A and B are shown apart, each in its own frame.
Chain A
């Protein structure tokens, strides 16, 4: 059995497709993951299941792998025991979660932006350019840089979970580039495709970070590291400048008001 605990999850799933359903049942989203080479034993650690859930999950997996034998999966040794399901973030991680909240506010507006898309007018194009400015400066230069240049450095960057986060950031940058190119070509179809692509990607990415990556990282950070991260994040905020952060916050608020107002007017007519 040890053999499978030390195998990449994609390998396990491709040999035993039923394992995918079992993981889904426990809200472990490895199935659509682009990398998928996390080891089976690490997945249990990272997701911090309760010991009953862990036992049930592992027994189900063992039954799939060895249907004829009454094998029980060994318990995974963890650094810390899970306490409660409610997530309590440390102050530096909480900052990142709060930034996600602002990014998500813009992401959920994207369907309305698409619905209202008018690339022939200055105003219509401006909304997209402003949205791209928000993504590039707030989501990427500020938020993703805090993750890539500061937070991830405290962990083994060869871990697949971190590699997969880097990959998402890169894919996101690709969408943003394509959004600008499509806008300049006045290619509405491509513009919609990449706006949607960015939204879907980042929504999933943020969920993975909030629910899995960050809690797992928080469990591994020492008190000293929490303090260091907090002060490094404060420095990053000073570096990008209060005005930029405030401008981004104002942009989302303004876009929200404008698009929601329009939506209400449309509903009335």
Chain B
């Protein structure tokens, strides 16, 4: 395999399953998304679906990785997505999250990121926003492996 050995965040890995997956594939799962838009540059902290809610700030790749993302993490929450590695204008992100805390008075913030080092930038953005906000709220950081397992779940 000709892998690119530089940044671990872009390193190629073949994660195809050797056997058929054993999970239950019967039935249909409903989407748990209750809003649009979702991208952090596009959303407004003033939107009614953020007011006093539990908000999930998810790195873009997370939803493709965690099999039960909708059922286990999105359900019951409002969401914003971003990529701390590739997105431009990340100072705007800090301001937006600060406004979610101070103006939308969100109840909690859960930050879901991938295990790759550059993804931790999203937690840093959230932390920076919390430090500059007047209100204080609980922030939880959940880190996901490339295989879709939860590696850690900690209060920031």
Contacts and interface: CB of A to CB of B under 8 A. Distances in A.
Interface string B82-97: 0000000000000000
A223 B142 CA distance: 13
B138 A92 contact: yes
Nearest to B110: A223
B51 interface: no
B76 interface: yes
A230 B155 contact: no
B102 interface: no
B56 to A, nearest CB: 10
A234 interface: yes
A34 interface: no
Nearest to B154: A88
Contacts of A227: 54, 106-108, 137-138
B136 interface: yes
B134 to A, nearest CB: 11
A230 B154 contact: no
Interface string A71-99: 00000000000000000111110100000
B155 A90 contact: yes
A91 B138 contact: yes
Interface string B117-155: 000000000000000000111101000000000000011
Given A91-B138, A92-B138, A230-B137, A223 B154 contact: no
B138 A226 contact: yes
B107 A228 contact: yes
Contact of A226 (B106, B108, B135, B154): B108
Contacts of A92: 138
A234 B155 contact: no
Contact of B137 (A88, A94, A231): A231
Given A223-B54, A230-B137, A234-B136, A88 B108 contact: no
Given A92-B138, A230-B138, A223 B108 contact: yes
A224 B155 contact: no
B65 to A, nearest CB: 21
Interface in B42-93: 54, 76
Contacts of A228: 107
Nearest to A89: B155
A150 to B, nearest CB: 15
B138 A224 contact: no
Contacts of A94: 155
Interface string B4-44: 00000000000000000000000000000000000000000
Contacts of B54: 223-224, 227
B137 A224 contact: no
Nearest to B76: A224
Contacts of B136: 230, 234
Given A223-B140, A224-B76, A231 B155 contact: no
B133 to A, nearest CB: 12
Interface in A40-92: 88-92
Nearest to A230: B138
Nearest to B155: A91
A230 B156 CA distance: 14
A89 B138 CA distance: 11
A226 B109 CA distance: 11
B100 to A, nearest CB: 13
A223 B106 CA distance: 12
A226 B111 CA distance: 15
11 contacts: A90-B138, A91-B155, A224-B108, A226-B138, A227-B54, A227-B107, A227-B137, A228-B107, A230-B136, A230-B137, A230-B138
Interface of A: 88-92, 94, 223-224, 226-228, 230-231, 234
Given A89-B155, A91-B155, A234-B136, 9 more contacts: A90-B138, A223-B108, A223-B110, A223-B140, A224-B54, A224-B76, A227-B138, A230-B138, A231-B137
Interface of B: 54, 76, 106-108, 110, 135-138, 140, 154-155
